[in-house]
Amino acid sequence: MLDLNKEKWKVIDKSVEEFENEYIRIIRPINDEIIPIDCPCCLKLLSDINDIEAYKRHKICKTCELDNWAKLYNNNK
């Protein structure tokens, strides 16, 4: 699988960069965070907005966030 965070991005201007290979061309804002398609903890697909919001908070899906809420709460104190 192509890991876009490790690929060579070419800066177009001060706010935009691009990646291009023989199959695809991607243009994105510089420093844009790429959200994976699956949870790094349980490897299930991020399937809805709740999973995306949980990933932005703790880098795990909503189910993993709920399963680990006590650890996450204590770490945020």
Q: What span, in angstroms and rounded, lies between the C-alpha atoms of 20 and 32?
A: 17
Using CB atoms within 10 Å of the CB of residue 64, give its burial: 0 to 12 exposed, 13 to 18 middle, 19+ buried.
buried
Query: Same structural domain for residues 57 and 22?
Result: no
Query: Same structural domain for residues 48 and 22?
Result: no
pLDDT tens digits for range 14-55: 999 998 888 889 898 988 788 999 999 999 999 999 999 999
Residue range of the domain that includes 15:
1-32
Residue 58's contacts (CB-CB under 8 Å, 6 or more residues apart) are 65, 72
The single-letter code of the amino acid at 27 is: I
Q: What pLDDT does residue 6 have?
A: 64
Query: Same structural domain for residues 24 and 40?
Result: no
Total of domains in the chain: 2
Query: Same structural domain for residues 22 and 47?
Result: no
Query: Same structural domain for residues 44 and 8?
Result: no
Look up the pTM and report it: 0.61
Q: Are 44 and 50 in contact (CB under 8 A)?
A: no
Query: Same structural domain for residues 12 and 24?
Result: yes
